[in-house]
Chains A and B, each alone.
Chain A
């Protein structure tokens, strides 16, 4: 059982539902394929939510580990993608909630300093070349994005960066698809206005 690393070369056209079904039967190669397919997407979501590499990696690891543990209970194999996105989004929101309670209880100025440098807002991707490559427009958008309340940010990221459906986003945030639509419209106008000010 050590050779799960080779992926699905033998069946390149296998649909995701079939891969999920095989992972449900305990097939590690199938599960590894799902990890390969989702870890980057979930990391990008978590990084844009949390602005911290380490925290984003923890979210990816926890969400995909939880997906392995809960896989047997997943009724509809087509729902896997929406489900892991939900696991990751809710973990991000948990991290942000913890951060905000931590900030509320801080009295030492030294601690406040450390929070503001590892918390939302600052850019932590360590490669300086990376930061230089990013256009001012991207920076403006991400700076304004970080001013949105967490749930609204999640809503915008899930729709605009990851193309998830209104129904799925609604299920994740426990609101109706119509409410998702409204929240998105508000987020868009808020970001657009914020970008105006930013420039």
Chain B
């Protein structure tokens, strides 16, 4: 049915074909067929009008929404933001110290931004239960959590085409291993990095 559905001129020519070959010279049939010539002339005018309208709309200041529209969208987004998970950094008799997964993720993404050819995407952080028990002890000599919980970071990423993926990923891992103690004061733990996509440069 789909093929029969294709709109045609009285001479049998597909209108879609005339449209897609509009910039090409007339073929033998079209040189003699009045219907084809008329349709072609009409579609040519439409093509020009279409391009002109597209350009005009694109650059028309009046064809943009008021700033209030974006404000309203962002207000809803902010009001309905999913509270990210809290990660326990330390706990002792005086209370607990937690950090949000989102704050930790932003440290990781900032580290990733320094590595060319790789873009950090979604980031999930868990605490490994096998080792987290030892982390709740008060750190010796009053230092504020240089060991901390054992983090398991799952970072998804996209890379530029034509890069050395193992080397780039290892470089990213090293940056994260440096950035987390520097920025937060705990060690980075396990860092699992998945390359899920190639991005266009």
User: Which label, helix, strand, loop or mixed, suits the secondary structure of the B interface?
Assistant: helix
Q: Chain B residues with Cβ under 8 A from A140's Cβ? A: 49
Q: Are A127 and B69 in contact (CB under 8 A)?
A: no
Contact of A161 among B45, B57, B65, B199 (CB under 8 A): B57
| Interface flag for A188 (CB, 8 Å) | yes
Q: Chain A residues with Cβ under 8 A from B123's Cβ? A: 25
Q: Are B19 and A137 in contact (CB under 8 A)?
A: no
A17-B121, A24-B122, A188-B15 given as contacts; is B56 within 8 A of A179 (CB)?
no
A56-B65, A182-B5, A189-B43 given as contacts; is B70 within 8 A of A35 (CB)?
yes
Q: Chain B residues with Cβ under 8 A from A35's Cβ? A: 70, 73-74
Of B77, B84, B119, B158, chain A has the most CB atoms within 10 Å of the CB of B77
* Residues of B that sit less than 8 Å from A by CB: 2-3, 5-7, 14-16, 19, 39, 42-43, 45-46, 48-50, 52-54, 56-58, 60, 62-66, 69-70, 72-74, 76-78, 80-82, 84, 102, 105-106, 109-110, 113, 119-123, 156, 158, 197, 199-201
Q: Chain B residues with Cβ under 8 A from A92's Cβ? A: none
Contact of B199 among A1, A15, A125 (CB under 8 A): A15
A195 to B69, CA, bound (A): 34
A56 to B69, CA, bound (A): 10
A182 to B14, CA, bound (A): 10
